Amino acid sequence: MNILRLLIALAFLAIGLVIGILNTQPITLNLLFTQISTGSGAAIIVSLLAGVCIGALIVLATVAWPLYARLRKAGKLPVAAAPVSPPTSDAPPGSGV
């Protein structure tokens, strides 16, 4: 399984390198208060990474957190009438029983 993860990571690294090599045109990003000059390959990679992070946060907020809340609610046990005590033996401590 770890080899599969390594191969997938290397494939994505290779794809990122190809995108960076093939897109070397300089661009200027005009933001609200500043300008950033970079290559188009770097801008593409950063925008894809930002999209993945935003998508992961949306899935986390809409799927994972409600499921965790439901799991916590289902895991709460009703209060028992009498507490359950662990079994005790009449053997003295250290006797190995």
- Domain extent listing, the chain: 2-74
Distance (Å) of CA 32 to CA 4, 29, 42, 50, 53: 42, 10, 20, 18, 22
Q: Is residue 83 predicted with pLDDT exceeding 90?
A: no
Q: How confident is the model at residue 58 (pLDDT cuts 50, 70, 90)?
A: very high
CA distance 65 to 49: 22
Comparing CA positions, the residue from 57, 29, 25, 64 lying closest to residue 41 is 25
CA distance 39 to 2: 33
Q: What is the pLDDT of residue 24?
A: 87
Higher pLDDT, 74 or 77: 74
DSSP H/E element including 30:
strand 26-30
Residue with tokens 């053997």: 91
Average pLDDT over residues 66-95: 72
Q: How confident is the model at residue 50 (pLDDT cuts 50, 70, 90)?
A: very high
